[in-house]
Structures are given as structure tokens and as C-alpha cells.
């Protein structure tokens, strides 16, 4: 089957139109992202100005209430002691060899807070590995 020159021109036109549309959409997305960044910066400045003004109007208000906000509050995580990190690193080195380094370690939530879907998935995976007893 040979392509006629008209078919080739049509395919080329469609590809060019697709590239032009993708370029236009990408440019629009970049403009929207820049606008959003400017709006966030403006809102952040407004919030800081309001906090400052509130602190001036009511000096008896505890500063902790002014500083507490969901995006600035540090997450409450228990840290893993250096001894436990050393044990984890030693276990990884024993298992995988000498070219292992521990980049990060964090505590996971308890199983009580895990979703039932993830618990059921773990049960299915763990029961699929049961070998059963061998008969002699």
C-alpha cells in the first residue's frame, strides 16, 4: 500500500496542528501557574500583615495562637534514635553488602490506623506465600 501525497500532507498537517495545540496549552498552563504563585505570595503577605495588625491591636493575645496555622505547624513525628538507625543500617549492610547507606528513616503509623483495604491486601500477599507442610 502506498501513501498518496495528499495523505502525507494530511498527516503532516494533523501532526503540526497537534504540536501547535500542545504548545499553546503548555504556554497557558505556565501562565496559570505563574498567576497562582503571584496570588499565593499576595495572600501570604496579606495574612502576615493581618497577624501583625492583630498583634498590635491585642498585645495580650498569646503569640502561639498567632503563629499556629496548618501550613506552618511542624508535623509531630517521633524521631528514631541513632542506635536504632545504626541497627537498621547494619542489617541492610549484612543483607545487601557494603555499598549500602541509610538515607532516611521514619516511623510509620500503627496498624490500627491503616485502612481495611491495605490490611486485606497484606493478608492476601502474606497468605499466598504459605508453603504448607511437606509430606514424606
Say which residue, 76 or 115, is predicted with more confidence: 115
Look up residue 122 and give its three cell numbers: 497484606
Mean pLDDT score, 26-54: 89
- Taking CA atoms, 118 is separated from 93, 109, 121, 125, 130, in Å, by 29, 13, 5, 11, 19
Q: 37-58 burial, b for 16+ CB within 10 Å, e for fewer?
A: eeeeeeeeeeeeeeeeeeeeee
pLDDT tens-digit readout, 115-131: 888 888 888 888 887 66
pTM of full prediction above 0.85 = no
Amino acid at each position: 500500500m502506498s501513501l498518496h501525497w495528499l495523505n502525507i500532507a494530511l498527516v503532516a498537517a494533523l501532526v503540526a496542528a497537534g504540536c501547535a495545540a500542545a504548545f499553546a496549552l503548555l504556554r497557558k498552563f505556565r501562565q496559570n501557574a505563574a498567576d497562582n504563585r503571584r496570588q499565593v505570595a499576595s495572600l501570604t503577605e496579606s495574612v502576615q500583615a493581618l497577624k501583625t495588625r492583630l498583634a498590635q491591636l491585642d498585645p495580650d493575645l498569646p503569640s502561639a495562637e498567632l503563629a499556629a496555622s496548618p501550613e506552618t505547624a511542624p508535623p509531630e513525628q517521633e524521631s528514631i534514635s541513632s542506635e536504632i538507625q545504626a541497627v537498621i543500617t547494619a542489617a541492610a549492610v549484612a543483607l545487601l553488602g557494603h555499598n549500602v547507606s541509610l538515607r532516611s528513616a521514619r516511623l510509620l503509623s500503627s496498624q490500627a490506623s491503616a485502612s481495611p483495604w491495605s490490611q486485606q491486601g497484606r493478608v492476601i500477599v502474606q497468605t499466598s506465600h504459605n508453603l504448607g507442610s511437606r509430606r514424606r
